[in-house]
Chains A and B, each alone.
Chain A
Amino acid sequence: MEINLSKITLRPYRISDVDDFLMYGGGNEKVTRFTRWNTFTSKQEVVSYINDYCIPHPYCRSICIDNRSIGFVIIMPRSGDDQCRADVGYALAAEYWGHGITTRAVKMAISGGLKEFPDVVRFQGLVELENKASQRVLEKVGFLKECVLRKYSFNKGETRDMVMYSLLSTDFMP
């Protein structure tokens, strides 16, 4: 499959994305293996997720090819004394892995995040130690691997070592 990366766009989610969302969030455990959310099992679950989480979110975008949703990227700024930093998260349909799409989407999202959240100087990504593909995405975007946080959090029933990556607004090259 040839992918022209200039065809990748980001836009807010719509309810009409439900079927496409179910394609990547619903059937494929490759995609959800390291995500905090479990595989979606019904249209209704996805509709609720889009309505209750994606649409009201400060920055949640569908990664699209020809305006069709093939994944998502989110930026979540913190508040109070933590407002200088924002967490980055993403997922992509498995059939589109390996073409640089997520890297491209994350770069686009960081550009968007810098405009939306002027107080944020640090973007960070926490990736499970075993999730090498996701670590490569952040490295290609220009994130710096800072450290391994041992037994940092639970996911799917086990405590996990997480790798902390960060990108400072001063480091970023779109």
Chain B
Amino acid sequence: MEGGGNEFTGEITLRPLELSDIDDFMVWATDEKVTRFCSWEPYTNKEDAINFINTKVIPHPWFRAICLNGQPIGAISVTKNSGNDKCRGELGYVLGSNYWGRGIATKAVKQVANTIFVEWPHLERLEAIVDVENPGSQRVLEKAGFQREGILRKYMLLKGKTRDLVMFSLLSSDPKS
């Protein structure tokens, strides 16, 4: 992530993402800077985006638009696990590249951290895995109070190539940052 250290001027809120947000969604979803470390390629048409919102976003256990003064500029989500894995959930987020470097993603992550353990009492661990070559995203989690646990070598494929990933976690019992 590039950009100066200016704090944003505006209010950051989280709310469900809706079909009516499609044009705002397309701004970050078509940007290859944003999708560089995502498992998906940039969207090239609205139909695919509408399909994604209908089939993945709306039924998702926890998916929110990150809004600046009410306008969606990114998204953040937590996956739900079952059985013996119910105690942990995985955090993911994307933010429009024009908004990088202003502490917005950190703010959104902190808001999730402050609410998810209350909404999901069975959750004890919120984790996130970040590419070793994505220091901007690693800093977001560090500033939000996550603990860096270690590096998982050749853990996953990203667009066909094996990647080393950094594992971060925040426990319900960790101090609030």
A positions within 8 Å CB-CB of B? 36, 81-85, 121-122, 124, 144, 146-155, 159, 164, 166, 168
Contact = CB atoms under 8 A, between A and B. Distances in A.
Interface string B140-156: 00000001011111111
17 contacts: A82-B156, A83-B157, A85-B155, A121-B162, A122-B155, A147-B151, A149-B167, A149-B169, A150-B171, A151-B87, A151-B171, A152-B87, A152-B88, A152-B125, A154-B83, A155-B84, A164-B150
Contacts of B48: none
A154 to B, nearest CB: 4
Chain B interface mostly: strand
B124 interface: yes
A164 B152 contact: yes
Interface-central residue, A36, A121, A151, by most chain B CB under 10 Å: A151
Contact of B154 (A149, A150, A154, A168): A168
Contact of A84 (B84, B87, B157, B169): B157
Contacts of B83: 154
B156 A85 contact: yes
A146 B132 CA distance: 14
Given A81-B158, A155-B84, A159-B87, A150 B153 contact: no
Given A146-B152, A150-B169, A151-B87, 20 more contacts: A84-B155, A84-B156, A84-B157, A84-B162, A121-B154, A122-B153, A122-B155, A124-B152, A146-B150, A146-B151, A147-B151, A147-B167, A152-B87, A153-B85, A154-B84, A154-B85, A154-B86, A159-B87, A166-B154, A168-B153
Given A81-B39, A159-B124, A153 B154 contact: no
Contacts of A164: 150, 152, 167
A153 B84 contact: yes
A134 B20 CA distance: 53
A148 B155 CA distance: 16
A85 to B, nearest CB: 6
B149 A85 contact: no
A149 B88 CA distance: 11
Given A84-B157, A85-B156, A168-B154, A150 B149 contact: yes
